[in-house]
Amino acid sequence: MYCMSVSHKKAPVNIREKLAFSTKEKAELINRLMNKDSITGVVVLCTCNRSEIYVSGSKYAIGELQREAADLKGVRLGELIKYLNVYNEESAIRHLFKVACGFDSMVLGEDEILGQVREAYQYSRESGAADYELNVMFQKAMAAAKRIKTDTRLSKTPPPFHCNSCGK
């Protein structure tokens, strides 16, 4: 499994906006990627603070992902590289769990990200783009996040801010 991420941790708003995918663009990206021999599964997660694309497949999958995402958005890959975080294998799995649990959010433990992860995964499942590996990893990450939110006080903090980007 691999992940290409553009988030609040490394990229300014104008760069994050360039890689924000509308529903139509998500469908197009999933289509393009699922037609690549090196890619067997895709999940596209977009929030007001991040755009992340998780793919499973061969070692060539991450290169295909980077090229297709840049091409679809009409951005030179060279312009984006310095803002991308790329995770592979265990680091991609670890990153997914941190994201789903709210540990990688601007506000530690915020609840909304779990729903956004669930929606992105569900969209890929319904599109036929979530293969066995992504199914297992996303289900386990969501189960871990739910348990953390249920069994700890992490999510008991009051809502800290209003996001001007997404209105929530």
Q: How many domains does the chain have?
A: 1
Sign of CA dihedral 156, 161, 164, 168: positive
Residue 113 lies in a domain: yes
Of the residues 48, 101, 163, 166, only one is catalytic, namely: 48
Residue 125 lies in a domain: yes
Residue 166 lies in a domain: no
Residue type, 71: D
> What's the rounded Cα separation, in Å, for the pair 133 and 121?
12
Mean pLDDT of the chain: 87
Whole-prediction pTM: 0.86
Report the b/e string of 47-62 with b at 16+ CB within 10 A: bbbbbbbbbbbeeebb
Residue 168 lies in a domain: no
Residue 162 lies in a domain: no
Is 101 annotated as catalytic? no
Q: Which of 42-51, 98-107, 146-155 comes out lowest in average pLDDT?
A: 146-155
Highest mean pLDDT among 29-43, 91-105, 149-163: 29-43
pLDDT band at 130; cut points 50, 70, 90: very high
Residue 167 lies in a domain: no
Residue 165 lies in a domain: no
DSSP character string of 73-117: HT--HHHHGGG-EEEETHHHHHHHHHHHHTTTSSSTT-SHHHHHH
Domain extent at residue 96:
2-156
> What's the rounded Cα separation, in Å, for the pair 45 and 100?
11
**Residue 33: how many CA atoms within 13 Å on its side-chain side?**
38
The CATH number assigned to the domain holding 23 equals 3.30.460.30
Residue 117 lies in a domain: yes
